[in-house]
Amino acid sequence: MSKILSLTIVLCICAGFMQCTKNPSSSTKRPPRELTGAEKRLVESDNKFGLKLFKEIVREERDENVFISPLSVSMALGMTYNGANGSTQEAMQKTLELSGLTIQEMNESYKSLIELLTGLDPKVKFQIANSIWYRQNWSFEEDSLNLCKTYFGAVVRGLDFNDPTSPNIINGWVDENTNGKIKRIVSRIDIEDVMFLINAIYFKGTWTYEFDQSLTQDDWFTLPDGSQKPCKMMAQENDFQYFETPDFQAIDLPYGDGKFSMTIFLPRPQKNIDELIAEFNEENWNRWINSFSPQEGLLQLPKFTLEYGLKLNDVLKALGMAVAFDPQQADFTKMYKPGGLFISRVKHKTFVEVNEEGTEAAAATSVVGTVGIRGFSMRVVGHLYL
């Protein structure tokens, strides 16, 4: 496996129990308990949504490094979904791939999966936090807010949005719940903004087999256009979970006790990275993930740090959620009875650092809700590719 990462890479950080059929002979890849039918359907839904979200972002962000956490986005939008009604609920259900689940099943499954994920591996720090911030003295539907409190563990708090320090309070919560890796998700609060639905995720995992720092050397990373950039290249020789096809090589690097892993896909020189990403769908993903097997080899992996941010409005509209952003048509009356609510902006920010010890990553998704002449908008904060 010579210089496996000398070209562009596609990587995912995954929870092992979400791929519980992978490597069935290895007990470390099995969940601590059997998932319920609803939990399995939610995992499938999140995977489908995550793959199509990633592909749409890549399509719009050509020639850019992309690092997202679909789990963060789906949780922020999941809280928002609790307030949707009518055609808006139907559009969000389709976009989030939730058609096989009732709202109650979705909520209950998110609650149990959050508990599983955050306690899955004692050697991996994985935190999920949710919050809702609303304009003080405004009345919102208690049933919808209570669903987010009960099943997403959301902190729900009223703030004086006219106070210029309010963004600092929300950003302080995000900063704390991403361990300082994402310091700012709210840049402004407009006069019509009445609610922020936010998800924050933090991950820190040590490699099961760490890289020897003395073997890290100056090297070159080859870009898709053939140009090169200097990098620090880590190296280790070991038995790896490995899979290859005529189009790509792939390797699975475990963290801690093996319940989490980083899966890396490397296109062959003749394969364009966009062509490989176009093949990312549920069927191919499941087949690939279940095809890994042990193989001895030399792995060379660059150290890197990446920060990424994107406004997701256009992406989510392209995926079928346009009605939720329409001030005239959006229906969030389960959240705000008088009506006129719409999503004004959805912002996503991420951070990842990969080094000899392991990986540290964080994500935040902000959904902004607005009410006024223009209607209602929501901001969600949350996300890695989990």
Question: In the 3-class helix/strand/coil scheme, how is 342-371 assigned residue by residue?
Answer: EEEEEEEEEEEEECCCEEEEEEEEEEEEEC
Q: How sure is the predictor about 14, in pLDDT bands with cuts at 50, 70 and 90?
A: low
Q: Please report the pLDDT score of residue 272 as a whole number.
A: 84
pLDDT at residue 167 above 70? yes
Q: Please report the pLDDT score of residue 386 as a whole number.
A: 47
Residue written as token pair 């990275």: 273
pLDDT at residue 94 above 90? yes
Q: Please report the pLDDT score of residue 30 as a whole number.
A: 59
Residue of 154 and 282 predicted with greater confidence: 154
Q: Please report the pLDDT score of residue 151 as a whole number.
A: 98
pLDDT at residue 60 above 60? yes
pLDDT at residue 4 above 80? no
Q: What's the distance, CA 228 to chain centroid?
A: 29
- Mean of the pLDDT values across residues 119-146? 96
User: What CATH number is given to the structural domain containing 103?
Assistant: 3.30.497.10
Q: Please report the pLDDT score of residue 274 as a whole number.
A: 86
Q: Please report the pLDDT score of residue 385 as a whole number.
A: 43
What domain range includes position 177?
Answer: 1-386
Q: Which helix (H) or strand (E) holds 294?
A: strand 293-302
Q: Please report the pLDDT score of residue 29 as a whole number.
A: 52
Angle, helix 142-152 to helix 70-81, in steps of 10 degrees: 150
Looking at every residue in the chain, the average pLDDT score rounds to: 88
Q: How far apart are CA 385 and CA 264, in angstroms?
A: 12
- Mean of the pLDDT values across residues 152-173? 97
Q: How far apart are CA 66 and CA 10, in angstroms?
A: 9
Q: Please report the pLDDT score of residue 62 as a whole number.
A: 79
Best CA proximity match to 364, nearest among 301, 310, 304: 310
Q: What is the pLDDT of residues 19-45, one digit of tens each?
A: 333 333 333 455 667 899 999 999 999
- Mean of the pLDDT values across residues 246-264? 94
- Mean of the pLDDT values across residues 210-215? 97
What CA–CA distances, in Å, run from 361 to 66, 86, 229, 354?
Answer: 14, 37, 23, 9
- CA angle centred on 35, ends 259 and 321, rounded to 5°: 95
- Mean of the pLDDT values across residues 79-96? 98
- Mean of the pLDDT values across residues 327-345? 96
| From 91-105, 160-174, 268-282, 350-364, the region with the lowest mean pLDDT | 268-282
Strands 293-302 and 260-267, bridge-based pairing: unpaired
pLDDT at residue 179 above 50? yes
Structural domain total, the chain = 1
Phi, psi at residue 306, to the nearest 5°?
A: -140, 130
Q: Please report the pLDDT score of residue 17 as a whole number.
A: 37
| From 65-79, 128-142, 200-214, 265-279, the region with the lowest mean pLDDT | 265-279
Q: How far apart are CA 82 and CA 194, in angstroms?
A: 17
Q: Is 208 helix (H, G, I), strand (E, B) or coil?
A: coil
Q: How sure is the predictor about 226, in pLDDT bands with cuts at 50, 70 and 90?
A: confident
Give the tokens for residue 347.
Answer: 């912002």
Q: Please report the pLDDT score of residue 225 as a whole number.
A: 77
